[in-house]
Amino acid sequence: MENFLVLEGKQVQLPSGVFAGVEKYSCYPGGQLEGLRLSERNMLVTHAGELVPAYNETPRRKVKHSVEFYPGGTVRSVALEEQQEIQTPLGEFPAELVTFYESGELKRFFPLDGKLSGFWSEEDERALAIPLTFDLPFARFTAVISGIGLYENGSIRSLTLFPRERITVRTQYGMIATRIGFSLYPDGLLASLEPAEPVALKTPIGRLLAFDSNAIGINADTSSLTFARSGTVTGLITEQNRIAVQTPDGQLRMFRPVERISPIDDDETIIVGLTLAFDADNVTITESGLEPQTFSLSSCGFTITEDASNPFSCSPSACANCSLCG
């Protein structure tokens, strides 16, 4: 059922107000307004402050809706005309794109929203970035940020770093160099992070090297190294370890990282690591292309070795400079 009215003079009326200079609009299958593209200056009053949606096209920005809506008519996202300071539960931050929960609370904001292309490079985008400083219980750092996700209560859900940015995060396993970003529980405790390099961790089955070279940095809501609220590891990806499991009936199950053709370049290969998840008395191991298998921690035996076929694995000649075995 339609929740808007198209007026004369490129205007669209919603229960919340009228948008002028509407160049294009789209609808959900049910007829509700999904999004608008604008060619005139409008202003939206939101929980993030007074926002000016984009109304000019530039080669740097992707052509998309200036404002998007939920089927119920509330604002879902706003692409801003230019970077402006917005109000967040964390204070004022610069943003070019903001998204909202259906309740109107701020969901995610992005300091920059450029489109990478032959015209506009990652370095061009970085040159516009303003490094931001954060002081959290587990990390104090200044870095270029791609985006910050919030829970509906206003606490940080995740913080995503700009490509090639690195920070250090404190865990009960020590300081861990982190790329892409990290996520938090609603109460502010560390939930996950993406290691910037292989890191040795004690787990319920033994010492593993946690690292995922294939991690994608779209956002840091879920990363490969996960923690319980207590700080203990609940999951990781290892590209450098083989795992042998002896079951109570005497069977021996072998798991190892797998080499695959790169989805980007057929002439290259990548290593797809083992994914492990721990709960109270079980570990679930997933090898690429196979079904997950769950084993009892108390009744099975586990042997961990390094995968000699993995180019990231240690070699005797590298031992003198290796910090992973300390």
189 and 303 in one domain? yes
Q: Does some domain include residue 163?
A: no
8 A C-beta contact, residue 181 and residue 161: yes
CA 142, CA 161: separation in Å to the nearest integer? 11
Range of the domain at 10: 5-124
Q: Does some domain include residue 225?
A: yes
96 and 210 in one domain? no
**Dihedral Cα 157, 161, 162, 166, nearest 10 deg:** 180
- pLDDT value at position 309? 59
196 and 110 in one domain? no
201 and 78 in one domain? no
- pLDDT value at position 262? 81
- pLDDT value at position 44? 95
Q: Does some domain include residue 224?
A: yes
Exposed/middle/buried for residue 27 (C-beta within 10 Å: 0-12, 13-18, 19+)? middle
- pLDDT value at position 322? 36
Work out how many domains the chain is built from and give that number.
2
Q: Which residues of the chain have pLDDT under 50?
A: 311-326
Q: Does some domain include residue 156?
A: no
Nearest alpha carbon to residue 198 among 317, 320, 289, 307: 307
285 and 201 in one domain? yes
Q: What pLDDT, in 10s, does the model give residues 222-268? A: 999 999 999 999 999 999 999 999 999 999 999 999 998 887 778 78
Q: Does some domain include residue 145?
A: no
Q: Does some domain include residue 244?
A: yes
